[in-house]
Amino acid sequence: MVLSFPNQYQNYCIFSKNVYDRVNDGEKQLPIIESELKQPKDEAQVIENLYILNLMIDNGADKNKIAKMYPTLSEYNNTTSPNIQSFLAGIYRKTKIPDGFGPLVKMLIQDSINPPENISFDPTEEIGGAILDYLA
């Protein structure tokens, strides 16, 4: 559960302990995450699940299993939510899903033309970093 979104005082989300318990459950959470991403209740649930995937990758989860979730993840490629963009870019950066490169470039261009308003962080930093990792 997202306890706090980025605001004027912090440029990051704060999550409940439940999120970290799910990360510790490991790859058995993947079908649950995929199901929740296919039919989320709200943006907070999407952000939570993307954050869990990011942490799972950091903890050594099989990147190929997460890459197989691309059809579900790609449903968010056209989002204008800076939070979703940042977490999605992190997943693409870490897994190097080949089909993720184009959407990252598109996000970067869209955010450059129409920068997100009223946010306390710049999602293009994560998006641009992901693009650079693809090119490295």
pLDDT tens-place string over residues 33-63: 999 999 999 999 999 999 999 999 999 999 9
Summarize pLDDT for 101-117 with one digit per residue, the tens: 999 999 999 999 999 88
Most confident of 7-11, 101-105, 117-121: 101-105
pTM higher than 0.75, yes or no?
A: yes
Number of other residues whose CB lies within 10 A of the CB of residue 82: 23
Instruction: Give me the number of domains the chain comprises.
Output: 1
Q: What is the pLDDT of residue 118?
A: 81
- Full residue range of the structural domain in which residue 62 is found: 2-135
**2 has which bridge partners?**
15
Provide the residue type at 95 as one letter: T
